[in-house]
Every structure is written in C-alpha cells, then in structure tokens.
Copies of this chain bind each other. A is one copy, B any other.
Amino acid sequence: MTKKLQNITDKLPPLIALLGFVLIWQLVCFFKIVPSFMLPSPIEVVLAIINDFSTLLHHGKVSLIETLAGLLLGIILAFVMATVMDRFVVLDKAFYPLIIVSQTIPTIAIAPILVLWMGFGMAPKITLVVITTFFPITVGLLEGYKSVDKDSLNLLKAMGADNLQIFYHLKFPRAMPYFFAGLKISASYAVVGAVVSEWLGGFEGLGVYMTRVKKAYSFDKMFAVIIVIVIISLLLMKLVKEIGKMSMPWLNLAKNENVNQK
C-alpha cells in the first residue's frame, strides 16, 4: 500500500509537468501567439501521428533496426576495446585520447562521407550509430574495470586465479553497473544517430521521412516524427534499465536491505 502510494507520488509530478507543458503549448497555438505554420498545436501533432501511423511505423522500423544493429555493434566494439585497453596499459594510453578526439567530430559532417564510402544501404547508418554509441560504453567499461579495488584483486590472486578468472569473477561483474550506465547514455543517443544519418542520405527511416515532411512544410508531421523518436529513445532507455536490473540482482537487494539494516 505505501509502496503503491510512493509510486504515485513519484509519478504524479512529472505527469503534471508534462500535462502543463502540453497545455501551455496548446494555448500558445490556440491564441495564435505563434503563427500556426511555425508551431503546430499538440492536437494537430497527435492527429498527424494517428493519420500517419502506418508510415511512421514503417520508417520507425527501419530506424529501429539500424539503431539496434548499431547499438549491438557498438557494444561489441566497446567491449573489445575497453577490455583490451584495460589489459594493456600502453594501448589505453595510446588510444584513449584518440577516442576522445573521435567524439568531437561532428556526425553531421561525416554522415555524408560515410554514405559516399559505403553506399545507400544500412551500412553507413549503422556505422554512424556505432560511432555515436561506442564511446559512452567504452568509457563506462574502462571506468568500471578501473573501479575494481586492489584488495579484491589481491584476494583473487591469492586464490591463484589467472587473468581470465579474475576478469570473469571480478572485473566484469564489477564493471557491469558502469557498463549499463554507459549503455543508457548510448541508447539515448543511438536513435538520434540513426535519424541524423538517414537525414543526410537514405530512402527509408524516420530521418528520411523527416526531410520529406519538412520539405512539404508539414510541421505537424515533423513534430509527430520527433515525438516518435523521443518515444523510441525512452523505450530503449527503459529497456536498458530493466535489463540492467535483471542482470544485477545484487544491486536492487542492497538498496532494499540497506533501509532496514543501517
């Protein structure tokens, strides 16, 4: 009962804030404070979503596939890089600065180049998603590996564990919370990455659809796409959070118990 109550008092404020935001938006449109061609009203946007639903679904699917493929490859890349960099300090020193540099390159500039190199298929889009997503995961994992305290390390060494065992029993599980924190950030950027690359060259996906409706001055549809992107991003983040919770049962426990114990 109190837990339910807690749940409500947690969820009420953002709901009210959201409703308030939408209401103000609607009023601004209703009283024509901003001309309607510049800002569609929320109702128009909702109608656009409903009317365009099948189109949005189609393009959304394409973007989602690119996002997920990119995210998966990004995870694999990040995992390999972080693990190798953690194992060999020289590589860490050598590549960490380059990785940071890679993050300051505007995706909008490299997207067209990628299309030029890789063609019209999904490859350049997925590559762009990989580029935007591997960084937070790599940094997260590296930080996670480094967070392992010397004592735990010594404990396993004293048991005679080899590097692989130390990795499996200690480093990886310890890095998991960091990994998921990084993954959550990546997930929030991944969809946007896919959309940007589609925007700059492609014939399917939300980004393409967006350029199209923008050219047609259909701002209501444009906002509809934005909302779809936001929803996909949020769902993806939620998914990451849930997977994280499931993969790390000891963390939730700790929280519940600490209240009673200390």
User: Could you list which residues of chain A lie within 8 angstroms of chain B, going by C-beta atoms?
Assistant: 10, 13-14, 16-18, 21, 34, 38, 90-91, 93-98, 100-101, 103-110, 112-113, 116-117, 188, 191-192, 195-196, 199, 210, 214, 219, 222, 225-226, 229-230, 233-234, 237
Contacts and interface: CB of A to CB of B under 8 A. Distances in A.
A215 to B, nearest CB: 11
A19 B17 CA distance: 52
A103 B188 contact: yes
B117 A229 contact: no
A24 to B, nearest CB: 13
B195 A109 contact: yes
Copies in the complex: 2
Contacts of A199: 106, 108-109
B109 A14 contact: no
B10 A229 contact: no
B96 A14 contact: yes
